Amino acid sequence: PIPLPTPTPATVEATILVAEDDPALLRHMVELLKDRYRVLPAANGAAALAIAREELPDLLVTDLDMPQMNGMELTREFLALQ
């Protein structure tokens, strides 16, 4: 299993779901965003969709080529939740 960064606290209004299967890139994106947004990290598209269903984030940032569910499929499913 890939160790994920801890979700950031809800100290801001916007929540961003970041789906990325490269652990180093995922950590980097979380670090860049965490001071201004609540960031929810996910290691693949399937995990991101599960988080999206629970949290209903404001924005999705996704890799396109991921295992289990690619970014295009994830985006379609994410938009259907809105």
What pTM was estimated for this model as a whole?
A: 0.83
- The predicted-structure confidence for 9-20, as pLDDT tens digits, reads as follows 655 679 999 999
Query: How many whole angstroms separate alpha carbon 78 and alpha carbon 56?
Result: 9
pLDDT of 45 over the 70 cut: yes
Q: How high does pLDDT run on average in the chain?
A: 90
Task: Identify the band that residue 67 occupies on the pLDDT scale cut at 50, 70 and 90.
Answer: confident
Strand partners, 59: 16
